Structure 1
């Protein structure tokens, strides 16, 4: 394609993605009360003496100060929920924009890419939700007994959603490594040599990317990422071995030994008509 056609195709895919997210945001707006209750649970699981409770009832509540804070929080949660609900649809749009530049044998991984990326992102978000309860307890208890956190709903939702998105995106690392290996960009030999550096970079990324600064949350992200990365290396090694074996068989078939008879078609094809003179060709 010319460059302008690529830009038009990119614009079309981006419009599709925005439409999918917008439709998902409508569903997220309707389901906002349930989503808020789900996101609030890690904070409410913190011991009562370290969090703010409603006077008279003892219920776990989040507060806000500005008039528009409630609306903007609901809008933010709805859009993020819409992106999560429609994840397989916009992931397919990204892959559909990439596939025209791939070979036929690489295009067959479309379904695997969409399914694996969805599962890995959901697994990362699930782990983040589990870690949030422990991480918040550790962070809020650092102020000591006799203090309580009075969190605003906007700050808390921003912290939680950032945590979920970062964990989900981090779990896509092994899929990117495998896809780079299948495309021939990253070999298993290079991956095996750089394992120690990769593990160090994973822990460094976890320390920087996690919104909280506690080592528990960092290790909760880094250790599963290391396990997934090692699994990706194993898959890359198996893939490269099969590829090398297939290439060796093709090379052996195209270069026969001197004592091996080559296959000959018993019915030869007809030769093209002979051109007798220069005038016939003109």
Structure 2
């Protein structure tokens, strides 16, 4: 496709994804109260343990501003099947028919992976809140700004979800011929370190089990992605002629 058609295709996909997020945000507006209760449950649990803790809305317009932000955040999660599919639809024109089947099969796992990351983050946020609020002195009060707390929760959930999508990105780059499986395999040490570093930051508690619980599925997903990339490279090498990487002015054995 010419560059202009690529840009038009990109605009089309972004527009569809944006409309899906907008419609999801409308649904998120009506789901605000139960979602807010769910997100502030760790605060209520800390209060039940006798800690003087509360969420504080500092400004007059803060409740409306936070409801708007949280609605968009809910819309982004609810519409994840749509914008993930639009990402796949933008990539497929550059793939062969057989590669499209591989990409569709792996992209069909992208939505469950994203939602699995979102679900896993909900298991760690209460531990993080409990760990940090435990340092509050017995005669002190912990008044948390609502925008700070909800901003932290929303960023954490999205980071977890997007982290589980990284293997999908690796496979997509490999199918496009931009990244070889061997290149990804050579970086396995860095991938391992980054996974454990991410897990350590995302679970800032002294519990080592929590860190391994997060890092292990991420490493398994990367291992699966590397295996798919290597298999695709092997299949592509069989299909391409041995002189396919020669320069235009270089003579082939044929």
Structure 2-normalised TM-score?
A: 0.80
Question: SS of the residue aligned with 1:49?
Answer: coil
Q: Deviations over 1:116-158 (max 9, x none)?
A: 1111111111111001111111111123433332112221111
* Alignment of 1:247 onto 2:238: yes
Structure 2 CA distance for partners of 1:219 and 1:136, relative to 1, 3 Å: farther
Q: Superposition pairs for residues 149-168 of structure 1, below 5 Å?
A: 149-168=142-161
Give 2:16's aligned residue.
16
> Per-residue deviation at 1:49?
2.8
**Which residue of 55, 65, 79 maps to 2:58?**
65
Question: SS of the residue aligned with 1:93?
Answer: helix
Give 1:129's aligned residue.
122
Q: Superposition pairs for residues 82-93 of structure 1, below 5 Å?
A: 82-93=75-86
Q: Deviations over 1:195-253 (max 9, x none)?
A: 22221132334456x4x754657655434322322333344455556x38x939x99xx
Q: Please give the root-mean-square deviation of Cα atoms over the aligned residues, in Å.
A: 2.8
Unaligned runs of 5+ in 1: 53-60, 252-282
Structure 2 CA distance for partners of 1:134 and 1:51, relative to 1, 3 Å: farther
- Residues 180, 186 of structure 1: 8 Å contact kept: yes
Give 1:117's aligned residue.
110
- Residues 28, 78 of structure 1: 8 Å contact kept: yes
Give 2:43's aligned residue.
43
- Residues 55, 143 of structure 2: 8 Å contact kept: yes
Aligned mates of 1:119, 1:51 — CA distance in 2: 38
Aligned mates of 1:185, 1:215 — CA distance in 2: 40
Structure 1-normalised TM-score?
A: 0.73
* Alignment of 1:31 onto 2:28: no
Count of residue pairs brought into register by the alignment: 238
**Greater Cα shift, 214-223 or 42-51:** 214-223
> Looking at CA atoms only, which structure, 1 or 2, has the larger radius of gyration?
1
- Residues 120, 168 of structure 1: 8 Å contact kept: yes
Structure 2 CA distance for partners of 1:51 and 1:120, relative to 1, 3 Å: farther
Question: SS of the residue aligned with 1:146?
Answer: coil
Aligned mates of 2:226, 2:13 — CA distance in 1: 32
Give 1:75's aligned residue.
68
Question: SS of the residue aligned with 2:40?
Answer: helix
**Which residue of 136, 142, 145 maps to 2:138?**
145
> Per-residue deviation at 1:163?
0.8
Aligned mates of 1:9, 1:188 — CA distance in 2: 28
Give 1:177's aligned residue.
170
Structure 2 CA distance for partners of 1:64 and 1:233, relative to 1, 3 Å: same
